[in-house]
Amino acid sequence: MYLDPLFVQLPEAIDREKYVIATYYCAAGRNVQIYKLASALAVEQTTGTWTSVPEETPAIRERFLGRVIGVYETPSYQIEVPPEVDERNFIIRIAFPVDNFGPQFAMLLTTVIGNISSSGKVKLIDLEWPTRMLKEFKGPKFGISGVRKLLGVYDRPLLNNMIKPCTGLDPATTAKLAYEAAVGGVDIIKDDELISDAPHCPLVERVKAVMASIKRADEEKGEKTIYCFNITDRTEKLRENAYRVIEAGGNGLMVNYFTIGFDAVRMLAEDPNINVPILAHPDFIGAVYESPWSGMSASLIGSKLPRIAGLDMTITLSPYGKFPVMLDTFLSCGYHSTAPLMHIKPVFVMPGGGTTQGHVEDLIHKFGNDFIVAAGGAIHGHPMGAVAGAKAFRQAIDLVVAGGHLDPDGYNYPELASALKSWGVYKSQKSGIFNLKG
C-alpha cells in the first residue's frame, strides 16, 4: 500500500534531526500515480527492492525507510489534467534517515541520487542537513574572512588570474606569467585545471619557481599574492602533494573537486597540517547539472557541497562568456556560497569562463564586494600585455567601488580603456539581489 503512513508522512511528523531531506524535480506521464512513484523512489534508495524480502522486518523499515514528506505538482492540477498535457511536473521531498549513511559524502550521494539517477526525469535540487550531522563537518578553514585576512584586503572584490595557456608551459614560463599577473595587481593566481604534477612541469619545481616570482612581485607592488597550485591526483597522492607544495613554499592549493570526490576534499580541508586556502575548480560538473531533467542542480553540486566539504573559494561559471549558464543559476550559486549555514563559513564565489574588465560593474552590482573576479584571457590576452590586463581589472574594480561607471571613452587609464574598447562594457538588468543597495 503506497499510502502507508510509514511511507508518506507530513513534514511536521518527522524528527528533522534524524533525516537529510532531499528535494527533487520529477516528470512523468499524465496518468502517473505520483504518490506510488514517490514512494518507490524512497524505498529504492533505502530498504526496498522490486519485491518483498523476508529480512525486511517492520523494525528495519521503521528505522531505515525513506519517507515521502511532500509531493507538489507544477502547475497544480486539482480538478483534471487538461487533454493536451502529456507530461506532468512535480516537486518531491523525501526524508532519508541519517543512520543509513552517517557524516560522509560518498554514501550520502549514493543514497539520495544513486540508482534513481537512472530512473528517467528525476533531478536532485537540494539537500537539507540536520544540525547534528552538519556539526560533523568543519567546513572551510578560511572562507571569505580568512582569505581577506591573509591578503590584507577588506574593502573591494578580489582579482584572480588563471595562467594561460592552460598546459604545456615549463616552470620558468609559468613563473614569468605569474609575475606579470601579480605585479599588475592580481590577488590570487591559480594553475589551470589541466596541469598538476606533469612531466613537463613538475609540481615542486613549479612551486619553487612561481613563489620566487610572487615574492619579487609582492615586494614591487607592496601587496600580497596567493598562488593556488593544482594538486589533483590519485587519491593516495593528494595529501602528499599538498604537503610537498607547502614545504616548497606554496601558499595556496587547488583541486578539481568533483573528479577527486568530496570526501577527498574534506580530508584535505580538515587536515591540521594543511594551513593554506584551497580553491575549487568545477570541471566535470556540467555533466551532472546541465540536463534540466536529471542529475543535480548547479547550486548544490557547484556551491553548497564544495562549501560544506571545506573549500574556501569556488569557481562559478557565469552567463557572461563561453558557457551556457542562466543568470538565475549563476545567482543561485552565489547565494549558496555566501548565505548563513550554521558554523560553515561563507566562501568566495569566483565568476569565470570569459570574464572581462567590462563585467566588473555588473558583478559588483550583483554580489557587492565579496566575490573574486576570475580572469584568464582578459589578462594574458590584453592588447598591452598581461601586466596591463591585470592593471585594467584593478582600475575597473577601484573605479566602480568608488561609485563610478565603466565607459570605454571616459578614462585616463590607458590599460582599462584598451580593455573596454576591445571587449566592451556588459550591460544587464539591475537585479542586484546580493547587493541590497542596488
Separation CA 211–CA 226 (nearest Å): 9
Q: How many residues does the chain have?
A: 438
259 and 284 Cβ atoms separated by less than 8 Å: yes
15 and 130 Cβ atoms separated by less than 8 Å: no
For cell 502529456, the residue is 86
Separation CA 97–CA 114 (nearest Å): 15
Burial of 436 (0-12, 13-18, 19+ CB in 10 A): exposed
Residue 251 corresponds to which amino acid? Answer: N
Choose, from 190, 281, 336, 391, the residue flagged as catalytic. Answer: 281
User: Does residue 358 sit in helix, strand or coil?
Assistant: helix
Q: Would residue 200 show up in a list of annotated catalytic residues for this protein?
A: no
Q: Rounded to 5, what percent of the chain is helix, strand, coil?
A: 40, 20, 40
Separation CA 331–CA 351 (nearest Å): 10
Beta-bridge partner residues of 100? none
Q: Would residue 427 show up in a list of annotated catalytic residues for this protein?
A: no
Q: How far, CA to CA in Å, does 371 sit from each of 147, 307, 328?
A: 11, 14, 17
For cell 500515480, the residue is 33
The stretches of 154-297 forming alpha helices (DSSP H) are 171-183, 203-221, 235-247, 257-260, 262-269, 286-289
Sheet with strand 87-97: strands edge to edge? 67-73, 87-97, 19-29, 122-128, 295-296
Choose, from 164, 190, 304, 365, the residue flagged as catalytic. Answer: 164
- Write out the DSSP string of 35-88: HHHHHHHHHHTTT--SS--TT--HHHHHHH--EEEEEEESS--SS---TT--EE
Q: Which residues are catalytic?
A: 164, 281
